[in-house]
């Protein structure tokens, strides 16, 4: 009988024991593979965070923070100055607008509440735009896709009105976020994820095309080619985008020039998104940009919350790697103990094999093959379990970290629920508000490559665990083994 056939047969010599060993190995292997998948997913997310928002700087008017503060608005001339700073690869200007349903605005006006088409105060009666600027509130035929709910009702009541009290104010829906933007990018500087249709072409030129969030379009029964109005001006839906969040998809993009025309503020910007050529140049470019624009004119910020997000993910990555090594070591220990038991049971068999001239390597190879048969069975079951469990395990590992990061990135942005969260006036809540969004979108998929790498590591540990006791026993002289039996 060949060594291979004998090894496979020995693996199933005691079926109950084989089943128990395979079950225990499957648990250890599935945990090891799940941790490896989670580690790879988190590592990929760290790379994505650094690539997408790690090189982005945000410029707001000096003295502005979210819906608070004051200062002078940013201008196109300042955008040109920023673009001339060394290591700056792109500058994207934005103009924030808030849209209210025209029918609702007319009813409010008739009831003596704040009228439409004015430079409206933001939440809390303060200045409502990103960076502390006044945000232009316009009317639209669209209806918000997000219900006000309890939080929205409180924010709406907190805005304050003229000629009525909070108790008698009519119920108002949430505003719709509209962003005039100078390039086909989202709030993190990445290309917009357009799910249907096309972009807006020249984002610096005036246009009557618009990009709508998927939920906003669905709420209003619109598709590519449909039309709607802003301040009685007709716009055509050129495409639909998915921002990844409910609030982000209750929004639309138009070209920067169109937004400035609607706001009757030509050349004025709400924020600037500055992309640096490499991550290594971010700090020096931030300093140079602040110097070029002037500390009394603009505030340049860079992702403290990004650092928190990456730090949190690095912690998860380290934990998952340690857990992978521990689970791998557990699988190796299981193999070692099982093979020690099997080798001790078969000392007579080993003595007979050596007595008839079997070399040590043949005896060791037999036990290694037997161990690999058990590990292969455990790996099949473990890989199947890991393919289903890895996503849940990765989510569990990052849930606490993502909550902490989201709380950190949301600080200092009062009024975000009723206007533009993160102070950027963009669907995703600002360049570094997007970091916390990205943090919650870690997707762990058990790819064949990762599974294969994990199983290869398990097999390597199994070979060591099986070979050590077999070779130690094989070194004993046959007569000593047979005499002991």
Residues 350 and 287 reside in one and the same domain: no
- Give the residue among 197, 203, 201 at the shortest CA–CA distance from 217: 197
Q: Which has more pLDDT, 260 or 67?
A: 260
The pTM of this model reads: 0.56
Residues 239 and 195 reside in one and the same domain: yes
Residues 371 and 439 reside in one and the same domain: yes
Name the band, by pLDDT with cuts 50, 70 and 90, for residue 126.
Answer: very low
Question: How many distinct structural domains can be found in the chain?
Answer: 2
Final residue of a structural domain among 302, 330, 359: 302
Domain encompassing residue 65: 57-302
| Secondary structure in 3-state letters for 237-269 | EEEEECCCCCCCCCEEEEEHHHHHHHHCCCCEE
CB 131 within 8 A of CB 69: yes
Helix, strand, coil fractions of the chain, as percent rounded to 5 = 55, 15, 30
Q: How many Cβ atoms are within 10 Å of 441's Cβ, its own excluded?
A: 12
Residues 41 and 164 reside in one and the same domain: no
Residues 91 and 24 reside in one and the same domain: no
Name the band, by pLDDT with cuts 50, 70 and 90, for residue 145.
Answer: confident
Torsion sign over Cα 124, 155, 306, 308 = positive
CB 360 within 8 A of CB 343: no
Residues 43 and 66 reside in one and the same domain: no
Q: Is the pLDDT score of 407 beyond 80? A: no
pLDDT at 149: 65
Residues 256 and 389 reside in one and the same domain: no
| Lowest-confidence pick of 87-96, 225-234, 393-402 | 393-402
Could you report the per-residue pLDDT of 324-336, keeping only the tens digit for each?
A: 888 888 888 888 8
Q: Is the pLDDT score of 427 beyond 80? A: no
Residues 180 and 140 reside in one and the same domain: yes
- Segment (H or E) for 135: strand 135-140
């Amino acid at each position: 009988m060949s060594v291979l056939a004998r090894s496979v047969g020995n693996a199933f010599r005691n079926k109950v024991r084989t089943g128990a060993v395979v079950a225990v190995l499957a648990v250890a292997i599935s945990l090891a593979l799940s941790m490896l998948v989670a580690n790879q997913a988190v590592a990929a997310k760290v790379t994505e965070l650094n690539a997408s928002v790690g090189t982005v700087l945000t410029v707001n008017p000096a003295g502005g923070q979210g819906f608070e503060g004051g200062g002078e608005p940013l201008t196109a001339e300042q955008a040109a100055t920023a673009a001339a700073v060394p290591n700056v690869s792109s500058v994207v200007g934005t103009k924030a607008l808030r849209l209210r349903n025209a029918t609702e605005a007319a009813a409010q006006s008739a009831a003596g509440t704040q009228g439409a088409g004015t430079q409206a105060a933001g939440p809390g009666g303060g200045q409502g735009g990103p960076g502390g600027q006044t945000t232009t509130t316009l009317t639209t035929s669209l209806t918000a896709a997000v219900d006000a709910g309890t939080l929205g009702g409180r924010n709406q009541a907190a805005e304050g009105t003229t000629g009525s009290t909070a108790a008698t104010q009519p119920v108002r829906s949430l505003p719709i976020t509209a962003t005039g933007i100078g390039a086909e990018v989202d709030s993190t500087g990445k290309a917009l994820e357009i799910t249907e249709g096309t972009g807006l072409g020249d984002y610096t030129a005036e246009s009557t095309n618009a990009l709508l969030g998927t939920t906003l379009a669905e709420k209003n029964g619109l598709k590519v080619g449909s039309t709607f109005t802003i301040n009685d001006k007709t716009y055509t839906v050129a495409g639909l985008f998915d921002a990844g969040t409910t609030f982000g998809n209750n929004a639309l993009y138009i070209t920067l020039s169109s937004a400035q025309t609607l706001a009757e503020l030509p050349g004025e910007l709400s924020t600037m998104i500055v992309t640096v050529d490499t991550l290594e140049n971010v700090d020096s470019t931030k300093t140079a940009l602040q110097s070029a624009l002037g500390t009394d004119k603009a505030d340049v910020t860079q992702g403290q919350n990004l650092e928190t997000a990456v730090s949190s993910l690095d912690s998860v990555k380290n934990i998952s790697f340690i857990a992978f090594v521990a689970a791998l070591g557990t699988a190796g220990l299981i193999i070692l103990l099982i093979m020690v038991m099997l080798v001790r049971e078969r000392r007579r068999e080993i003595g007979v094999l050596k007595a008839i001239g079997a070399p040590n390597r043949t005896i060791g190879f037999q036990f290694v093959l037997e161990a690999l048969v058990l590990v292969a069975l455990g790996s099949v079951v473990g890989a199947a379990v890991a393919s289903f469990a890895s996503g849940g395990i990765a989510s569990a590992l990052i849930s606490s970290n993502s909550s902490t990061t989201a709380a950190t990135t949301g600080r200092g942005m009062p009024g975000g629920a009723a206007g533009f969260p993160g102070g950027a006036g963009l669907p995703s809540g600002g360049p570094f508000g997007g970091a916390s969004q990205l943090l919650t979108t870690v997707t762990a998929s058990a790819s064949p490559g990762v599974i294969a790498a994990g199983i290869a590591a398990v097999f390597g540990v199994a070979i060591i665990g099986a070979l050590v006791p077999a070779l130690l026993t094989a070194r004993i002289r046959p007569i000593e083994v047979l005499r002991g039996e």
